[in-house]
Amino acid sequence: MDWYIYVLKHYAVFSGRANRPEYWMFTLINVVVSLVVTMLNGLTHGVLAPLYSLFIIIPSLAVQVRRLHDINRSAWWLLIVLIPVIGSIILVIFSALPGTPGPNAYGPQPADRPT
């Protein structure tokens, strides 16, 4: 849960790097929260899920950009998802790759824990 809160605290930070635990733990918790929100959506007359989606879109994009920076790729690589199916698969593969050791063009190597 610390990683999820860490990403939310860095709501719109598109610079720097995000290591694999930061990205994947945020993604895992986001999926779980999304499932819960979707189940509760019927009780709120369909309002809760769209609100959560609007709330989480900026931090999701920011952590994905920082993850791409960690593997020394530009944020423009996010546009690869416009290629149906294959683009999303490539982005998942990029997200699973280990980060560049040491500093790269986007900053120093990220810490192993949230601060």
Q: How far is CA 54 from CA 28, 70, 80, in A?
A: 18, 26, 22
Residue 62 has, within 13 A of its CA and on its CB side, a CA count of 18
Domain total for the chain? 1
Residue 73 lies in a domain: yes
Does residue 106 form part of some domain?
A: no
Tell me if 87 sits within 8 A of 81, measured CB to CB. Answer: yes
Local structure of 83: helix, strand or coil:
coil
Q: Residue 92: inside a domain, yes or no? A: no
Rounded-to-integer distance, Cα 45 and Cα 60, Å: 25
For residue 24, what are the domain limits?
A: 2-82
In a domain, 101, yes or no: no
Residue tagged 């609100």 (tokens): 51
Answer whether residue 57 is part of any domain: yes
How many other CB atoms are there within 10 angstroms of residue 102's CB atom?
Answer: 7
Q: What is the pLDDT of residue 113?
A: 66
Grouped pLDDT means (10 residues each) for the chain, 115 residues? 91 94 96 95 89 96 97 97 97 96 93 70
- 111 part of a folded domain: no
103 falls within a domain: no
Q: Is 72 a domain residue?
A: yes
